[in-house]
Amino acid sequence: MKESQPKAIFLKDYQAPDYWIDKTNLVFDLHEDYALVTSTLHIRQNEQGEGHPDLVLSGVDMELVSVAIDGRKLAEDEFREGQSELVIPIDRDQFILEVKNRIKPQENTSLEGLYKSNGMFCTQCEAEGFRKITYYLDRPDVMSTFSTQIIADKARYPVLLANGNDVERGELDNGRHWVKWEDPFKKPSYLFALVAGDLESIEDRYTTMSGREVTLRIFTESHNIHKCDHAMVSLKKSMKWDEEVYGREYDLDIFMIVAVDHFNMGAMENKGLNIFNSSCVLASPETATDARYQRIEAIVAHEYFHNWSGNRVTCRDWFQLSLKEGFTVFRDSEFSADMNSRGVKRIEDVAMLRTAQFAEDAGPMSHPVRPESYIEISNFYTVTVYEKGAEVVRMIHSLLGEKDFRKGSDLYFKRHDGQAVTCEDFVKAMEDASGKDLSQFRLWYSQSGTPVLHVSDAYDKASGTYSLTIEQSCPATPGQENKAPFHIPVKLALLDNSGKALSLNEHGDVEQVLDVKQAKETFLFNNLPEKPLPSLLRGFSAPVRLEYAYSKDDLVFLMQHDSDSFNRWDACQRLAMAEINQLVAALARGESKEPDQQLIDAFGHVLADSTLDMAVKTEMLTLPFEAAIAEQSESIQPGLIHKARKQVKQAIAAAHQSQFHQLWKELSQEKPYRPEARDIAERTLKNICLGYMVALNHKEMMDLAKEQYDRSGNMTDRFAALSYVVNAEYQDKPSIDALLSDFLNRYQDDANVMDQWFSVQAGSPQMGTLSHVQSLMEHKLFDATSPNKLRALVGAFAQNMAGFHDSEGEGYQFLADLVIEYDCKNPQLASRLLQPLTRWKKYEPQSRELMKKALESISKVPELSTDVFEVVNKSL
Ligand code: TRP
Ligand code: ZN
C-alpha cells in the first residue's frame, strides 16, 4: 500500500550506499501463525559514501521486536521506526547490528517476501521483497555473505532449504528441527531464498569442466515427483552449454530447484536455490505440450545462466536490470537455438518481440532498455528490458562477431566478478576486448521507441550500380520527443532473378552487414548485371520496423528463394498481413471481398515444398496472430481482425483441403513421445494441418479432431485437438461439452493442466464470453489465490479479440473491478492483469472510450498500490 502520493525514483539520483554489510546471519523460527526472524548484520561505513550518520534500513509489513548494537539492546529513543524504514543514528565505523522482528507469512498474499504456497514456506525477494522479511539495506549494490538457520516443525516441514551448502543440522524438543546453510558467495538480498516444506526430490550429479562434483536436486510435492526429469535433463544441458560457449562453470557443491504453485512470474535465480513456478518445471508426455517442454528447457537454462550473468556479476541498481536480464535472455535464446531449430527459435522470438515489445514501445509505458525513472520497479520487468535488451546484446554479438564477443564476455566476467555493475560496464568490456567503437551504439540503452527503417533503391543499367538508400527515424515516446540516429546493423543479401544471392565483394561474400549510422545514408553496390531483389534485415539483425515497397510478386519470390529462413518466413507474414489488412478495410466498409488467389497459391507452394525445413514450414503456414495484426493497425477493430483472419484461413484451407488432410494422415502415425526438435516439428505440422481442416467448418473434420483427441497418448496432440474443437466456428455444443468434461475428469488433479482447461475456454471466440468466464471463476478447481489460474482465465479472456471486446464495455469493467479487488492482495499481479486496458488509445473510437472509462474507475480508487497507480496514471 502506498504511503502518500507515490514518488518517482531517478537514475540520475543514484548514490552509493552509506554502509556495507559484510556478513548476514539469519535465523528463522517458523510457526503456523508467525515467523520470528533474527538478523545479525556485520556493518561497516562506506568510505566512498555520503557520510550520513544515520543507518536507514528498509522494512515493510513487520513487527519490530528488538534492536541491539554490539550486544547492547537499544532503548526506544535510540532508533526511529517509520512506515517502511528503521532509522538508527550511528556513532562508529564498524558494528554488529542485531534485529529481531516478526512477520506473518501465512497472511502474505502478495507472494513477495516469505509466504506460503500449498502449505510450504517459500520466498521471493527480487526486486524489493527482502524488506518484507527483515530490516535491511535492500539494494543490489550491497553484497554480503549469508548464513541461514531455519527452525521448524519436523513433521510438517521435513525439508529446510536456503542458499549455499548445508553445514549443520539438529533436533529440538517438541518435534522441531533445524538446518543451517552457508553461502560463501557475496550476494545482494534479492538473491536470498528459503524453502520449508514436505517435499520430495530427484537427484543427479554433474562434473564440471574443472572436475568439481556438483549435486543437482529438484524438489516438488510428492504427487508430482515423476514430472521432474525433463527439468533435470535441461539443467545438465545448460551447465554443459555454459561451459562450452562461455567458459563458465558452476561454483557451489549443490544446485537446487524447487517447484511452487503460487508464484508471480516464471522463475527466480536465487543463488544455489532457484525457485520456479511449477508450470515451468513439471512435465510428462501425458500432461505437458511440446511448447511447455521447450519453455521448461528455456527457463531452467535462463535461471541457471543467471549464476554468472546476474549473481556473480550483478546490477548496481534496478535501472540496470537489463544488464542481467537482456544478457541472460540472449544467452538462453542461443542455448535454445543450439538445442532445437535455430531458424524456428529466431522466428518465435521475433514474432513475440514484434507483437508484445513493439506494442509496449508504442504505448504509454514505453521506456528505454535502461529506464531513467520508475515509481514501482516491479512494473519494469518488461518485454523491453528482457526481450529488447536481448536484441541489443544480439546486435553487439553481430557487430563484434563470435570470437570478439566471447573475448568481451570473458573480460566482463573477469573484470567484474563479485561486483554490482552497470550496462555501461558491459558495453565497455565489449569495446575494450574488441577495439570496436560502440559510442553511438549506446543510444540503444537510453532511447526508447521502435526505430523505423525506410529503404528505397535504384539501379543504373549502364554502370551496373545498385544503390540502397536507408532513412531511419524513431517516433516520439513519453519523455523523449526527438531521437538521435541509432547505430543499426542491417544484414542483407542481393538476389538475382533465379533467387541466387550475388557475391558482394572480391571474397565472394553473399551476405554483408551495413553499419547504418545516419538519418539518411546511401550504400552502393557495383558490377551488378541486373537489378537485384534485396533481402533486407536478414535474421532480423536489428529490432526495427522495416519499410521497403516489396510487391506481392517480390514477396512470393522471397518466400520461395530466400536462403535466410527468417526472411522467408517474414515475406510470408508480410504477404498475409497485407491481405488481412485489406479484408479488414473491406469489412469495415461493409463490403465482402474474396481472399487473394496469389496468397492462397503461395501457401499451397509452401505446403508442397519438400525442400523446406519442416520446422520452418510450420512457422510459414501459421498466419500472423491476431495480436500481431492488432499491433500494426492504426485503429484496432478487434472483431474485424478476428473475422478477416478467419476468412483467410478458411480460404487457404478450402483451396488445399486434400493436401492438408493427406499430410495430417501421414504424420498421424503413433509413436512414442520424445520432446526432440524433429518430432516436435512433425507434431506441429500435423496439428497445423488439423487446424486448417477444422477451419473448414464441416462435421467430418470436427470428427477427425475428436478422433485425434481420443487416440492421442500425448498432451500435445490431445490439447491441439481439444483447442481446435473449442475454437471452431462449427459449434456442436454437446460434443464440445463432452470433450471438455472428459478433459476435466482426466486431469483434474493436475493444477497446471487445469490452467490450460480454463484458458482454452476463455480464449475461444465462441465460448469465451464474459458470463462464461464469470461462471468459471466459481468453478471448484478455480483457485483465486493462484496467479497461474488468474492468468489462465482472465489473462486469456483479455486477449480474446472476439470475447473481451464484444460487449458494451462489460468485459473492460469486469477486468477493472478485478484489478481493484486484487490490488489489495497481490499488486504485482493486479498491475499485470491491467495491461490490456492500457492500450486503449490504439482502439477504434467506441472501444477506446469504454476502455478509458474502465481505467478511470481504477484511478478513482483512493488507496492504490504503487504498482497499479503507476500503470494507470501513465496510461490515462
Ligand atoms: N529474475 C527473474 C528472472 O528473470 C524474474 C523475477 C523478477 C521474478 N522478479 C520476480 C520472478 C518476482 C518471480 C517473482 O529470471
Ligand atoms: Zn532473468
Q: Which parts of 474-627 are beta strand (E)?
A: 488-495, 512-516, 520-525, 533-536, 545-548
Q: Does the residue 102 lie in any domain? A: yes
- Local confidence band at 808 (pLDDT 50, 70, 90 cut-offs): confident
pLDDT above 70 (res 706):
yes
* Furthest C-alpha separation in the chain: 96
Write phi, then psi, for 299 (nearest 5 degrees): -75, -40
pLDDT at 4: 66
Q: Is 381 in the pocket of ligand 1 (CB under 6 A)?
A: yes
Q: Which residues crowd ion ligand 2, with CB under 5 Å?
A: 325, 328
Which domain range does residue 3 map to? 1-198
pLDDT digits over 132-148, tens only?
A: 999 999 999 999 999 99
* pLDDT for 299: 98
CA 250 → CA 236, 255, 410, 469, distances in Å? 11, 9, 15, 48
Q: Calculate the alpha carbon distances from 479 to 357, 366, 373, 543 in Å.
A: 18, 9, 11, 21
Q: What percent of the chain has pLDDT over 90?
A: 97
- Residue 619 Cβ < 6 Å to ligand 1: no
Q: Which atom of ligand 1 is nearest to the CA of 269?
A: 15
Residues 848, 843: Cα–Cα separation, whole Å? 5
What is the per-residue DSSP string for 428-470? HHHHHHH----TGGGHHHH--S--EEEEEEEEETTTTEEEEEE
Cell numbers 566476467 correspond to: 413
Question: Cβ(540) to ligand 1 under 6 A?
Answer: no
How many helices and strands, by DSSP H and E, does the chain display?
29, 31
| Cβ of 128 below 6 Å from ligand 1 | no
Backbone angles phi and psi of 827, in degrees to 5: -60, -35
pTM as predicted: 0.98
Q: Ligand 2 centroid vs 300 CA: distance in angstroms?
A: 10
Please spell the DSSP secondary structure of 692-732, one letter per residue.
Answer: HHHHT--HHHHHHHHHHHHH-SSHHHHHHHHHHHHH-SS--
Asked if the structure places residue 18 within a domain, the reply is: yes
Q: Which residues pair with 27 in a beta bridge?
A: 38, 149
Give the residue whose CA is nearest to atom 6 of ligand 1. Answer: 268
Per-residue pLDDT, 510:
97
DSSP 8-state assignment for residue 252 = S
Q: Is residue 622 part of a domain?
A: no
Which residue type sits at 398? Answer: S
Predicted local distance difference test score (pLDDT) of residue 3: 46
| Whether the predicted pLDDT of 175 surpasses 70 | yes
Give nearest CA residue, ligand 1 atom 5: 268
380-383 — which CB contacts under 8 Å span 24+ positions? 380/318, 380/321, 381/127, 381/265, 381/321, 381/325, 383/352, 383/353, 383/356, 383/357
Per the structure, how many domains does the chain have? 1
Whether residue 387 is contained in a domain is answered as no
CA separation for the pair 235, 259 (Å, rounded): 14
What's the distance, CA 727 to chain centroid?
26
**Spatial separation of the C-alpha atoms in residues 200 and 747, rounded to whole Å:** 21
Distance, CA of 552 to chain centre: 34
For residue 718, pLDDT over 50 is answered with yes
Of 303, 431, 579, 619, the active-site residue reads 303
Evaluate whether 85 touches 58 at the Cβ level (below 8 Å).
yes
The model's pLDDT over 644-696, given as tens digits with 9 standing for 90+, comes to 999 999 999 999 999 999 999 999 998 999 999 999 999 999 999 999 999 99
Residue 407 falls inside a structural domain? no
CATH of the domain at 156: 2.60.40.1730
Cell 537482456, located at residue:
326
- Burial bucket for residue 712 (CB in 10 Å: 0-12, 13-18, 19+): buried
Confidence of residue 731 (pLDDT cuts 50, 70, 90): confident
> What is the overall mean pLDDT for the chain?
97
Whether 167 maps to a domain, the answer reads yes
Q: Say if 742 falls within a structural domain.
A: no
Domain contains 113? yes
For CA atoms 664, 666, 671, 675, the dihedral sign is negative
For residue 275, report the distance from its CA to the centre of ligand 1, in Å.
10
Tell me, in angstroms, the distance from the centre of ligand 2 to residue 127's CA.
11
What confidence score (pLDDT) does residue 302 get?
99
- Contact between residue 448 and residue 480 where contact means Cβ atoms under 8 Å apart: yes
> First and final CA of the chain: distance in angstroms?
21
| CA 267 / ligand 1 centre spacing (Å) | 6
- Cα separation values, 188 from 15, 432, 469, 827, Å: 16, 27, 49, 23
- Among 406, 349, 362, 392, smallest CA distance to 489 is for 392
Distance CA 829, CA 301 (A): 25
Is 631 in the active site? no
Q: Tell me what the mean pLDDT of segment 390-400 comes to.
A: 98
Give the pLDDT confidence of 1-57 residue by residue, as tens digits: 444 689 999 999 999 999 999 999 999 999 999 999 999 999 999 999 888 889 999
- Inform me whether the pLDDT recorded for 311 exceeds 90: yes
Instruction: Tell me the CA distances in angstroms from 519 to 149, 165, 438, 486, one per residue in order.
Output: 59, 55, 17, 8
